[in-house]
Amino acid sequence: MIKDKREVARRGEAAAIPTAWEYAPAPESREIVHFEDRYGLCIGGQFLEPLSNERYTTIDPAREEPLAEIAQAGKADVDRAVKAAREAYAERWSQLRPSERAKYLFRIARILQERSREFAVVESLNGGKPIRESRDVDLPLAAAHFFYYAGWADKLEYAFPNRTPRPIGVAGQIIPWNFPLLMLAWKIAPALAAGNTVVLKPAETTPLSALLFCDVVRQAELPPGVVNIVTGDGRTGAELVSHPDVDKIAFTGSTEVGKAIQRTLAGSGKRLTLELGGKAANIIFDDAPLDQAVEGIINGIYFNQGHVCCAGSRLFVEESIYETVISKLKRRMKTLRVGDPLDKNTDVGAINSKQQLDKIGSLVQSGIDEGAEIYQPPCKLPERGYWFVPTVFTNVAQSYRIAQEEIFGPVLSVLTFRTPDEAIEKANNTPYGLSAGVWTEKGSRILAMAQKLRAGVVWANTYNRFDPASPFGGYKESGFGREGGRHGLEPYVALDGE
């Protein structure tokens, strides 16, 4: 900025140096993606028309524009898919040498890498997430998961020494809309590596990357029926859960639906893993590297619009650094760019659906009504589409709904503490137990906190980091079972002659 006004006058308007540099739009091209007008169900290696004859439209939540017609699979469709998976299991997949299974998984991983740009655009178009995230997080991690489990396929004897691991059969897998392709990879890769076949149901709002994945399966020349994709809403999921010929259900989604599934399966002998909601504590001690911690807070809650089950949605700040952290946080929030998911500059994209937007809105209203103080940075939102400004609440009491319930949106609730014991007490005061973050310079404190935090994953001086070799999963109402790592194979193998 030129301070000397006379200098500006002397040089004239044209020569004035701008006071702020605006970003120029940097849109990713959507040319690379071609959608069919309508999709069938991917069963036994083919796209089949739904017997139900029902369809719905999937949209781009950033523009509220239709993208394609999707099949709503009914009972008979789910039955066809399970039959195809059973046949493929009995006659082909379980008979293959494990090293052959590995070859297919390696192929899938490499094809995902080759087609990553196309998949990234699909994820952003159908889900609303920024292209920067689908390109740099979802796609590399999805490919990494297939690479990782490809490596285990012929080494199961080493993963479970002296316990004669065998596949269990047909797995029914139900996934949510926040990381559509990545959740598919988390589910399909370990199941196939262990010799099972799958019927997977993507979430109703984000079916397109799973349908495109059927083309990857075709390219990799997987035997037909090893991977089957049935689309539809919760009714389709419920049909899959109650199908008598499914040996195992793996579910990621809300705690409410997880509980319903558990009730349905009680006494059936079917195996079950549940990855459900969360209300994670991100705890900042006064000796933490504060600028890094602020980045961790931002990444913890605004990554993927806060549509993350392990999001750091409760921030606990040590009282002595409260003012500093909050002012740094607000300053950083002002630099977040909210808007077009396909723009490479975008930090926060569109909310996945109108329904989710309404849910976030009503929980935020409850925070205001209960007496918390709200801050939202100035920010211009696009006129069409579903958007929510990154939000932080201070002056929050533990009893407020915004401190207790999962919002699944870009909304942070800040609380304070004075001692490590108080931080643990408050952090564990939730029905959930999926993840937590600890920020401090002291390694011993990190270890002590990690021992006492009742959370499946504890990040230290970082947040929302994932690696296929590292198990992920929860305690309490966040579910049970682990995905990732050697632990992630366990739900898909029978041991000791079971």
Q: Write out the catalytic residue numbers.
A: 275, 309
* Choice from 194, 203, 333, 351 touching ligand ADP (CB under 6 A): 203
What track of x and - describes contact with ligand ADP for positions 254 through 293 (by CB under 6 A)?
Answer: x--x--xx--------------------------------
Q: Quickly list H helices, 115-251.
A: 116-127, 131-133, 139-152, 156-159, 180-193, 208-219, 234-242
Helix, strand, coil % in the chain, rounded to nearest 5: 45, 15, 40
Residue 22: DSSP 8-state = P
Shortest spacing between CB 201 and ligand ADP, in angstroms: 6
Q: Determine the Cα–Cα distance for residues 372 and 300; give it in Å rounded to an integer.
A: 21
Task: Establish if 306 lies at the interface with ligand ADP (CB under 6 A).
Answer: no
Q: Which is nearer to ligand ADP, 223 or 234 (CB)?
A: 234
Q: Determine the Cα–Cα distance for residues 224 and 44; give it in Å rounded to an integer.
A: 5
β-sheet bridge partners, residue 373: 394
Binding window for ligand ADP (CB under 6 A); candidates: 231-239, 396-404, 430-438, 439-447: 231-239
Dihedral-angle region of residue 188 (phi above 0 means left; psi in -120 to 50 means alpha; beta otherwise): alpha
Q: Which is nearer to ligand ADP, 115 or 270 (CB)?
A: 270
Phi, psi of 226 (to 5 degrees): -70, -40
Task: Establish if 461 lies at the interface with ligand ADP (CB under 6 A).
Answer: no
Q: Which is nearer to ligand ADP, 41 or 174 (CB)?
A: 174
Q: Which of 92, 153, 65 is nearest to 350 (CA)?
A: 65
Shortest spacing between CB 233 and ligand ADP, in angstroms: 5
Task: Establish if 242 lies at the interface with ligand ADP (CB under 6 A).
Answer: no
Three-state secondary-structure class, residue 479: strand
Binding window for ligand ADP (CB under 6 A); candidates: 99-107, 127-135, 168-176, 323-331: 168-176
* Choice from 28, 77, 204, 483 touching ligand ADP (CB under 6 A): 204
Task: Establish if 132 lies at the interface with ligand ADP (CB under 6 A).
Answer: no
| Structure-block tokens of residue 60 | 């781009």
Three-state secondary-structure class, residue 47: strand
Q: Residue 280 belongs to what H/E stretch?
A: none
* Choice from 50, 128, 180, 237 touching ligand ADP (CB under 6 A): 237
Q: 475, exposed or middle or buried, with CB in 10 Å at 0-12, 13-18, 19+?
A: middle
Task: Establish if 238 lies at the interface with ligand ADP (CB under 6 A).
Answer: yes
What radius of gyration do the chain's Cα atoms show? 24
Shortest spacing between CB 294 and ligand ADP, in angstroms: 28
Cβ atoms within 10 Å of 354's Cβ, excluding its own: 14
Task: Establish if 216 lies at the interface with ligand ADP (CB under 6 A).
Answer: no
Shortest spacing between CB 64 and ligand ADP, in angstroms: 19
* Choice from 54, 154, 233, 295 touching ligand ADP (CB under 6 A): 233
The number of helix segments (H) and strand segments (E) in the chain equals 17, 19
Cβ(37)–Cβ(15) under 8 Å? Answer: no
The residue whose Cβ lies closest to ligand ADP is 237
Shortest spacing between CB 280 and ligand ADP, in angstroms: 16
Cβ atoms within 10 Å of 351's Cβ, excluding its own: 26
Q: Which is nearer to ligand ADP, 345 or 404 (CB)?
A: 404
| Structure-block tokens of residue 330 | 């607000």
Phi, psi of 79 (to 5 degrees): -60, -45
Binding window for ligand ADP (CB under 6 A); candidates: 51-59, 233-241, 449-457, 490-498: 233-241
Single-letter amino acid, residue 251: F
* Choice from 85, 121, 137, 174 touching ligand ADP (CB under 6 A): 174
Task: Establish if 253 lies at the interface with ligand ADP (CB under 6 A).
Answer: yes
Shortest spacing between CB 237 and ligand ADP, in angstroms: 2
Task: Establish if 33 lies at the interface with ligand ADP (CB under 6 A).
Answer: no
Binding site for ligand ADP (CB under 6 A): 174-176, 201, 203-204, 233-234, 237-238, 241, 253-254, 257, 260-261
